[in-house]
Amino acid sequence: MRRWRPADLLFWGGLALVTLVLSLASKQIGVATGWKWLTKFPKGWELHADRAISAAMKWLVEDAALGPLRFRDLTRLLSALVEAPYFVLRDFLIDGFQIGQGQQAVPVLPHVSWLVVVLGFGLLAHRAGGFRLAALVVASFLYLLLFGLWESAMVTLASVAIAVPLGVGLGILLGIAAFRFRWVDMALRPVLDLMQTVPVFAYLVPILFLFGFGAMSALVATIIYAMPPMVRITTLGLRGVPEEIVEAGRMSGCTPRQNLWKVRLPAARGMLMVGVNQVIMLTLNMVIIASMIGAGGLGYQVLTALRKLDVGAGVEAGFGIVILAVALDRLSQAIARRSPAVPAEGGWIARHPRSLALLAVLLVSYPLGALLPALNSFPESWQLSTGSFWQEVISWINLNLYDQIEAVKVFALTWVLVPVKLFLLGIPWVWGLVLAFAIPAKIGGWRLGLMGLAMASFIAASGLWPEAMITLYLCGVSVVIAMLIGVPLGVWAGQNAQANAVLTLVIDTLQTLPTFIYLIPVVMLFRVGDFSAMIAVVLYAVVPAVRYAAHGIRSIDSQLVEAGLVSGCTPRQLLWKVKLPLAMPSILLGLNQTIMLALSMLVITALVGTRDLGQEVYIALTKANVGKGVVAGLAVAFLAIMSDRIITAAVNRKRGEDHA
């Protein structure tokens, strides 16, 4: 374990002390000296980047042109290209094919029977992963049928089916470009950082301006959100191909192009499938937000339920998303793992029994569906609902546990949330800028310090300082609590296989649950406010804390543990003196992820009435104010990027010390 050097101790201690004093006394100092600007950023100094961005957006949409081709035409063309397959798929799955528009529409072919869809996915799952997977997939689709979510689910499925290949394809192409050309890599890095840290709400408005309300906007937003990991993983995967394999390709006489497409890319297949999996999960994560700008589907069900505070419907539709996500996730993983089988003997018919059977059922289902309506649309009388059950659970809790919950809430507010909030808000922004330079500079060098200073200055100059402080406070408290809960659980799971099995299930579920779902029960139990926001954030952000801690403990070289044992460590000493120090880099990475998730969840908790940057973004969204949304979104992104850089620098420094 590292000893504190006196100089470090002095630096951090002094910084904390000065900050505390300034925070407590800033009001008095401001009054005594008459320097109003000390506590409040002067209006006259504001940058008004938001207005410039709004104006630029307006110009882009209304006037921008490249020769005869106007920018707006370009986006419309793009929309048409992407929407065409989407609508064909939607017609096939749920809407039915029609000729003509609106009232004159003549139905040509009804939508496909639910039986065919279930059967199709079941057979695919069986081919990819055997009976167990097929059973899981069929059960998932049956859930959607039984709870009356079929139509919404099919709409969601159609958009996933378009967004995932697009996101994966674009991601791979960009990843290859970044791999081939250094300048692309350099240019893409900050863009990807922003794409992953700017809250989705911030770019919904510009997208709406460009593509209008509807499926296209939803698809674009989804792809922006889901693609970055694919780009990164592609570049990483291509770089990670063993040099020998590449040399084998060259010695086999590959041209550079062949070496990329036939050697590197297939050799990186495992990594690429991790990326595909990520894209699928993120796409489903976006389903609810996408429904705000016209995606419809399961997300829309959750959103309406949330607006009506209808717990039952919200939970059912939310689980629908989770179940769809889990089914597609397992399916894609099974397809990735399956080594391509040896082609069977015989003709085409003998080799494709499943495809043929499905085709036959498809053809038969259309005439049969006309005779049997139940085949066409799952009858309502067969459907279930647990809505009233959830409602009753909440009511019961509210009736019987109200005092206890209230006591916890008041305690947390009085002793934790409010003091931290006041402390952070009390720090004069000038000193805040000093801190924004000093802390990163101390940990990661003066360049990082300058970056922190620049980003903090941008936030201050946009007039968002108090909002940023509230974000920091909510995020900070939630992250600390999430780490306090998550790390011990992770350490436990890392050492105990049974605990690991249970916890993995729980955190997998927590992670696949769309962020919005957290809000429903939290609001029902704790009503709106900072405390509810904190609970929702902790629930969502605890996942990486657990996961990375468990991973860190598990990936310790067993020889080192054995070395500790033969040195006579008690289990307790083994944990504190061997395992935890070795797992520390991994735990810090978990902290990093926890902060990222907390920030992204915070924006969504704006819906339950916080007063932070997320609220600014959300207000901008409801007022369709491009500039304001983008600026507030950038502010959130800057907080995220800075915390990421600081932690990365700390991890690197720690590793450097360990090796030195």
Partner 1 sequence: MEQPIILECRNVWKLYGAQADSFLQTHGMQPTPEALRRANIVSAVRNVDVTIRKGEIFVIMGLSGSGKSTLVRCLARLIDSTAGEIRFEGRDLLAMSGPELIALRRHKMGMVFQHFALLPHLTALENAAFPLEVQGIDRKTRLERAMQVMELVGLKGRENRYPHELSGGQQQRVGIARSLIVEPDLWFLDEPFSALDPLIRREMQDELLRLQARLHKTIVFITHDFDEAIRLADRIAVMRDGAIVQTATPEELVLNPADDYVAEFTQHIPRAKVVRLGTAAKPLGPGPFAGDLTASLRVAEAADRIEAADLPFRVLAADGAPMGQIDGRTVIDILIGREVAR
Note whether 345 binds partner 1 by CB under 8 A.
no
- Comparing CA positions, the residue from 30, 321, 266 lying closest to residue 149 is 321
- Alpha carbon dihedral 290, 165, 543, 597, in 10-degree steps, equals -50
**CB 514 within 8 Å of CB 285:** yes
Instruction: Indicate the residue among 274 and 561 with the shorter CB distance to partner 1.
Output: 274
Instruction: Indicate the residue among 8 and 247 with the shorter CB distance to partner 1.
Output: 247
Separation of alpha carbons 167 and 235, rounded Å:
15
- Comparing CA positions, the residue from 641, 593, 595, 637 lying closest to residue 614 is 637
Tokens at 568, concatenated: 């006579």
Note whether 244 binds partner 1 by CB under 8 A.
yes
Note whether 180 binds partner 1 by CB under 8 A.
no
Instruction: Indicate the residue among 103 and 339 with the shorter CB distance to partner 1.
Output: 339
Tokens at 270, concatenated: 């495992």
Q: Which residue has the tokens 């002094």?
A: 14
Minimum Å gap between C-beta 353 and partner 1 is 21
DSSP letter at 70 equals E
Residue span 267-306 as binding mask against partner 1, x where in contact by CB under 8 A, dash where not: x-xx------------------------------------
Minimum Å gap between C-beta 240 and partner 1 is 13
Separation of alpha carbons 506 and 418, rounded Å:
31
Segment near partner 1 (CB under 8 A); pick from 58-66, 181-189, 252-260, 374-382: 252-260
Amino acid making up residue 59: W
- The CA-based angle 37-38-44, given to 5 degrees, is 20
Note whether 355 binds partner 1 by CB under 8 A.
no
Note whether 346 binds partner 1 by CB under 8 A.
no
Note whether 245 binds partner 1 by CB under 8 A.
yes
Note whether 399 binds partner 1 by CB under 8 A.
no
Exposed / middle / buried, residue 527 (Cβ in 10 Å: 0-12, 13-18, 19+):
middle
Exposed / middle / buried, residue 619 (Cβ in 10 Å: 0-12, 13-18, 19+):
middle
**CB 608 within 8 Å of CB 532:** yes
Note whether 251 binds partner 1 by CB under 8 A.
yes
SS3 state of residue 109: strand
Segment near partner 1 (CB under 8 A); pick from 258-266, 321-329, 384-392, 486-494: 258-266
Note whether 242 binds partner 1 by CB under 8 A.
yes
Minimum Å gap between C-beta 126 and partner 1 is 22
SS3 state of residue 107: strand
Separation of alpha carbons 218 and 382, rounded Å:
32
Instruction: Indicate the residue among 66 and 342 with the shorter CB distance to partner 1.
Output: 342
Note whether 240 binds partner 1 by CB under 8 A.
no
Note whether 315 binds partner 1 by CB under 8 A.
no
> Pick from 58, 70, 76, 262: which binds partner 1 (CB under 8 A)?
262
Residue span 508-527 as binding mask against partner 1, x where in contact by CB under 8 A, dash where not: --------------------
Note whether 566 binds partner 1 by CB under 8 A.
no
Separation of alpha carbons 197 and 190, rounded Å:
10
Minimum Å gap between C-beta 267 and partner 1 is 6
Separation of alpha carbons 316 and 389, rounded Å:
11
> Pick from 250, 527, 554, 611: which binds partner 1 (CB under 8 A)?
250
Minimum Å gap between C-beta 263 and partner 1 is 7
**CB 482 within 8 Å of CB 594:** yes
Amino acid making up residue 295: A
> Pick from 55, 132, 252, 350: which binds partner 1 (CB under 8 A)?
252
Instruction: Give, in order, the Cα–Cα distances in Å from 465 to each of 87, 426, 471.
Output: 45, 11, 10
> Pick from 62, 63, 73, 247: which binds partner 1 (CB under 8 A)?
247
Note whether 253 binds partner 1 by CB under 8 A.
yes
Q: Which residue has the tokens 């780490």?
A: 483
Minimum Å gap between C-beta 247 and partner 1 is 5
Minimum Å gap between C-beta 271 and partner 1 is 12
Minimum Å gap between C-beta 348 and partner 1 is 17
Sign of CA dihedral 644, 647, 650, 655: negative
Q: What is the total residue count of the chain?
A: 660
Note whether 67 binds partner 1 by CB under 8 A.
no
Q: Which residue has the tokens 């990936």?
A: 555
Minimum Å gap between C-beta 243 and partner 1 is 9
SS3 state of residue 4: coil
Binding-site size, partner 1 (CB under 8 A): 23
- The CA-based angle 323-326-332, given to 5 degrees, is 140
Instruction: Indicate the residue among 49 and 335 with the shorter CB distance to partner 1.
Output: 335
Separation of alpha carbons 330 and 203, rounded Å:
31
Minimum Å gap between C-beta 238 and partner 1 is 14
Instruction: Indicate the residue among 51 and 269 with the shorter CB distance to partner 1.
Output: 269
> Pick from 254, 416, 430, 435: which binds partner 1 (CB under 8 A)?
254
Q: Note the residues at the interface with partner 1 (CB under 8 A).
A: 242, 244-245, 247-256, 258, 262-263, 266-267, 269-270, 339-340, 342
